[in-house]
């Protein structure tokens, strides 16, 4: 997945535990762990906003895009993006 989640970095900078952040945001520690470890398929904007408020940061401090490299060294979009582009052309 080309999106990297840096919640753990912000937790360390703010000296917060997963449990404390989960309480502040209003989600379970298990759901926060899924998001923090990059296993989430999606995140609601309301949750992202609550995370930013609790951590006093911007969305870009929590999420970043890293293009996937191909064998020839060029960047390739994820399969989902490529599929959507093909469907848009139909």
Phi-psi region of 79 (alpha: psi -120 to 50; beta: other; left: phi over 0): alpha
Q: Which domain holds residue 34?
A: 3-89
Cβ neighbours, 10 Å, residue 47: 17
Please say whether the beta carbons of 63 and 3 come within 8 A.
yes
Q: How many domains is the chain partitioned into structurally? A: 1
For the entire predicted model, the pTM comes to 0.74
- Tens-digit pLDDT profile for residues 18-68: 999 999 999 999 999 999 999 999 999 999 999 999 999 999 999 999 887
CATH number of the CATH domain containing 37: 1.10.260.40
């Amino acid at each position: 997945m080309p999106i990297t989640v840096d919640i753990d970095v912000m937790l360390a900078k703010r000296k917060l535990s997963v449990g404390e952040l989960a309480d502040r945001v209003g989600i379970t520690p298990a759901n926060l762990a899924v998001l923090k470890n990059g296993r989430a398929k999606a995140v609601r904007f309301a949750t992202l906003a609550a995370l930013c408020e609790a951590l006093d940061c911007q969305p870009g401090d929590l999420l970043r895009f890293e293009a996937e490299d191909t064998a020839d060294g060029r960047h390739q979009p994820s399969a989902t993006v490529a599929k959507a582009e093909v469907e848009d052309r139909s």
